[in-house]
Amino acid sequence: MRHHRDDVVRHAIVVLDTYGLADLTMRRLASELDVRPSALYHHFRDKQSLLAAVADELLRRGARPLAAQAWDEQVVELCSGLRDALLAYRDGAELVSTVIAFGLGASQPYDDLVTALAPARLGEELASTAARTLLHFVLGHTLDEQTHLQAGSAGAIGDDPRPRSDFGAGLGLVVDGIRLRSSRGVDARA
């Protein structure tokens, strides 16, 4: 059976969600596609590039249109949406963190945040710092959350499968810090 690049990415997401990032190996993915491992190198130059494509597809599937008008509400929406996208697939946060750390993809969330922050008039440098600080928070928090969620998934049935998260509280901390620096003031609207 012959595959396109997109088939490989789609199947990689299934393997990721079913077996986890540690078991998303080139050999395993190849065998699931009924193909020799070397065939994958026709579509991707190496594993990192494959993972970058998988991360981008995962983020694309989680993308939602912005409803809010004010920049600070848009920022909260973007960060919550990113968290939801990461939690939607097993090891999603770990995958996207890895890809971002390697700098090979998953740049959409950063770009979206910079765009949303524009009306806050922070200046180019501070806007970049703010966007990256938000991103570090969301990735770090969600990685923690997902790790512990999955660690507890062997627990009793009575366990709360999604204990009240302090995601909103932590995000509020950072957004307040940004709002203090907005030249549009505490009550700035887009």
Partner DNA sequence: ACCTGAACACCGTTCAAGT
Q: Give contact residues for DNA (rule: CB under 7 A).
A: 1-5, 23, 25-28, 34-39, 41-43, 45-48
173 binds its own copies (CB under 8 A): yes
46 binds its own copies (CB under 8 A): no
142: nearest Cα among 113, 116, 166: 166
Residue 173, binding choice from DNA, its own copies, none, Cβ under 5 to 8 Å by partner class: its own copies
**What residue has token string 């090891």?**
91
**What residue has token string 């249109």?**
65
Query: Which residue's CB is nearer to its own copies, number 19 or number 110?
Result: 110
**Shortest distance (Å) from residue 37 CB to DNA:** 4
| d(C-alpha 107, C-alpha 74), whole Å | 18
Residue 136, binding choice from its own copies, DNA, none, Cβ under 5 to 8 Å by partner class: its own copies
Buried b or exposed e, range 61-85, using 16+ CB within 10 angstroms = ebeeeeeeebbbbbbbbbbebbbeb
139 binds its own copies (CB under 8 A): yes
129 binds its own copies (CB under 8 A): yes
Query: Which residue's CB is nearer to its own copies, number 7 or number 144?
Result: 144
> Count of CB atoms within 10 A of residue 139's CB?
21
184: nearest Cα among 132, 138, 127: 127
169 binds its own copies (CB under 8 A): yes
Please say whether the beta carbons of 190 and 74 come within 8 A: yes
Q: Count residues contacting its own copies (CB under 8 A)?
A: 34
Residue 68, binding choice from DNA, its own copies, none, Cβ under 5 to 8 Å by partner class: none
Query: Which residue's CB is nearer to its own copies, number 16 or number 130?
Result: 130
Binding positions for its own copies, rule: CB under 8 A: 94, 101-103, 125-126, 128-130, 132-133, 135-137, 139-141, 143-144, 147-148, 151, 166, 169-170, 172-178, 180-181
